[in-house]
Chains A and B, each alone.
Chain A
């Protein structure tokens, strides 16, 4: 059982980091970023190229992943989402754009990196084995790094000037603008940060699970699940949702093993019931 909980905790840290990026973009722009999974995959492939192929240090690869995705995110916001939001009669039109960018990134990833499953050499060798828990050291390192990134993100949002501006924007766009917050600039920074987080998790997880061009969609769905559990647009909710989903997956895979591959069916069903009782998730704001 300790093993199951340790696995769940490790998964949860990764998931929380994915969900944070998605929820940040949603909070700032009311955009449901369908391309989040694809950004994750792209981050994974960049780390694969820099660390696995070119042989540069892992930290450099991780930085490259984060930076590339941040630039892509900023450009997407500036040239695509901002324009469509301004011109469209209905806010939901951004969903078509988001889906189209997801397809676009999928196509680019497929062209650049092919469809093979890719992995990289382990970053740390050895296995932690004590008190009934078996965890390879690289998982521990990746889990710890994820926790550090989460903490850094939360602190940044809480105490930096940029973070404060973004929180104001998420709370009330018009009021923030009236108080002199440069809405356009911080929307762009927020989108870039969200994309950067996706890229970083991709870079972290490629060292463990590897990456292939087809996992973007499923990752997006998982990210949506976490955001729904925790509540859309709330930092705390995304973290909670990530850990809850990680734990449910880990426990479910063990407990429900004899019934076949039904873990996600059970999770979905539970989520439906949960959402009918609490439509806005654990901590979400009501929509409308």
Chain B
């Protein structure tokens, strides 16, 4: 009992420390050092880790998802089209983009979630290509020219009380975007943590191990798979929508196969067995890539070389360092 209470207090303390770091320490440090460009980097990390969290969830049901770029692109376009063509405010488009992606993923997922292993991986990989080609071909997405000069998010007020000020009037919209992205990231990972430690989470884990066995003891595997995939795509869509808002533009090439692969790599690198793996993986990969920028033409060589070495040394992800080896 005392031990359990202790682990609980340790958990609460570490969450508090994490929140203090991202909401207070990081802005203070950036303000002190004057490196405001870091806001953009950290915002990207937060958003990419949301999309990666979605990919992680599909890993959790035993599917390799290399199609998250498709949903990020879709979410970005849904939000952009609603804002530009229909004059919506940005805020309602955020959940709408997520829900649109979730609905689309149910339609797509129903047939393709029957596939397993590499087949699912390859189909989702081509899904990213399909999304790109669709964005090029459809009239509403404005083809290769993309959607540009999307207005910044406006004010959000409930019952006359302004919760979020108009981003265009802010002196430091970078900080605003950072806070928005980080808040969403915290919410997203809280949801993930809750989901994984709920009954559904346990059922998902049973899918990962053996679908037939799970099905034979009465788990509705088709339903669970679609739910997990829809949640995953929701995250992808939301992340894509904010990306479109930050860069104020979206193109068919905004999210490509490379991005989809990177989302998957983030999960692998952080560790597939850990909820917070995608967050760490994204941080390390994104910053690693940025830091190696000074090496110029050798950037990709060193980056991929390090990735290979990391894979050889820690094939189960970075977080497997912290956890005691469960084998043996």
Contact = CB atoms under 8 A, between A and B. Distances in A.
A84 B314 CA distance: 9
Contacts of B264: 95-96, 99
B259 interface: no
A95 B137 contact: no
Contact of A107 (B64, B112, B261, B304): B304
Contacts of A288: 116-117, 211
A108 interface: yes
Q: Quick one: which of A88, A108, A260 has the most chain B CB within 10 A?
A: A88
Contacts of A111: 297-298, 301
Nearest to A266: B133
Interface residues of B, number: 47
A232 B118 CA distance: 8
B145 to A, nearest CB: 14
A265 B114 CA distance: 22
A92 B304 CA distance: 18
Interface string A244-288: 000000000000000011101100110111011001110010011
A275 B115 contact: yes
A97 B308 contact: yes
Contacts of A80: 308, 311-312
Contacts of A95: 64, 121, 264, 268
A103 B261 CA distance: 11
Interface string A72-115: 00000000100110011110110111011101101110110000
Interface residues of A, number: 51
B228 interface: no
A72 to B, nearest CB: 14
Interface string A235-246: 000000000000
Nearest to B258: A217
A101 B308 contact: yes
Interface stretch (A158-166, A177-185, A221-229): A221-229
A272 B130 CA distance: 10
A191 interface: no
A216 B178 CA distance: 36
A238 to B, nearest CB: 13
B136 A224 contact: no
Interface in B104-127: 108, 111-112, 114-119, 121-123, 125-127
A90 B272 contact: yes
Contacts of A45: none
Given A107-B301, A111-B298, A32 B118 contact: yes
A110 to B, nearest CB: 7
B248 to A, nearest CB: 27
B315 interface: yes
Contacts of B115: 275, 279
B312 A275 contact: no
A88 B258 CA distance: 24
B293 to A, nearest CB: 14
Contacts of B121: 32, 95
B258 A84 contact: no
B316 interface: yes
A284 to B, nearest CB: 8
Nearest to A79: B312
A82 B209 CA distance: 23
Given A84-B315, A95-B64, A279-B119, A268 B257 contact: no
B258 A272 contact: no
B122 A227 contact: yes
Contacts of A48: none
Contacts of B64: 92, 95
A221 B311 contact: no
B130 A269 contact: yes
Contacts of B316: 87-90, 93
Given A104-B305, A265-B134, A287 B126 contact: no
Contacts of A88: 315-316
A40 interface: no
A101 to B, nearest CB: 7
Contacts of B301: 104, 107-108, 111
A93 B268 contact: yes
B300 A84 contact: no
Interface string A51-87: 0000000000000000000000000000010011001
Contacts of A92: 59, 64, 268, 272
Interface of B: 59, 64, 108, 111-112, 114-119, 121-123, 125-127, 129-130, 133-134, 136-137, 211, 257-258, 261, 264-265, 268-269, 272-273, 297-298, 300-301, 303-305, 307-308, 311-312, 315-316, 327
26 contacts: A26-B118, A84-B315, A87-B316, A89-B315, A95-B64, A95-B121, A95-B264, A95-B268, A101-B308, A107-B300, A225-B122, A225-B126, A228-B119, A228-B122, A232-B118, A261-B136, A268-B127, A272-B111, A273-B111, A276-B111, A276-B114, A279-B115, A279-B116, A279-B119, A280-B119, A287-B118
| 4 nearest A-B pairs in the assembled complex, by CB-CB distance | A276-B111, A103-B304, A88-B315, A107-B301
Given A32-B118, A225-B122, A228-B119, 14 more contacts: A32-B121, A32-B122, A34-B261, A95-B64, A96-B268, A111-B301, A261-B137, A262-B137, A264-B129, A268-B129, A271-B126, A276-B112, A287-B119, A288-B211
Interface of A: 26, 30, 32, 34, 80, 83-84, 87-90, 92-93, 95-97, 99-101, 103-104, 106-108, 110-111, 217, 221, 224-225, 227-228, 232, 260-262, 264-265, 268-269, 271-273, 275-276, 279-281, 284, 287-288
